[in-house]
Amino acid sequence: GAGVSQSPSNKVTEKGKDVELRCDPISGHTALYWYRQSLGQGLEFLIYFQGNSAPDKSGLPSDRFSAERTGGSVSTLTIQRTQQEDSAVYLCASSFLGGGKAKNIQYFGAGTRLSVL
């Protein structure tokens, strides 16, 4: 696609429910990142995928958070048993990791705004 696509754009859920957030990266991009941004705050790194390598999960805040990337393209971030403190905007970015002019420039989706009631 022309850009990074995230869905849904907004999600309201009840405490304790599971949610799935989707990210469709730019075609051909090998790297995919998930971030979380709480209201008025900076970006908090969650997880990073690169090609077929094992993901870097070092930013996941708890074992309720998980993510997968199928076929090296679309990624799903799953939050189990949501808590009110999970309310935030979840941002996805993709980039092409390679030489030359690619330079690992990150492109962001519009985000999913998650509200846990």
Partner 1 sequence: GIQVEQSPPDLILQEGANSTLRCNFSDSVNNLQWFHQNPWGQLINLFYIPSGTKQNGRLSATTVATERYSLLYISSSQTTDSGVYFCAVRSGGSYIPTFGRGTSLIVHP
Q: Which is nearer to partner 1, 18 or 104 (CB)?
A: 104
Q: Which is nearer to partner 1, 89 or 116 (CB)?
A: 89
Beta carbon of residue 41, minimum distance to partner 1 (angstroms, whole number): 8
Q: Which is nearer to partner 1, 80 or 107 (CB)?
A: 107
Beta carbon of residue 79, minimum distance to partner 1 (angstroms, whole number): 19
Residues found near partner 1 in the complex (CB under 8 A): 31, 33, 37, 41-43, 45, 48, 50, 56, 58-59, 89, 91, 93, 97, 103-108, 110-111, 113
**Alpha-carbon distance values, 72 to 9, 18, 55, 94, 97 (Å):** 22, 24, 11, 11, 13
Beta carbon of residue 24, minimum distance to partner 1 (angstroms, whole number): 16
Instruction: Annotate 29-55 with b (16+ C-beta within 10 A) or e (fewer).
Output: bbbbbbbbeeeeeeeeebbbbbeeeeb
d(Cα 82, Cα 64) in Å, to the nearest integer? 8
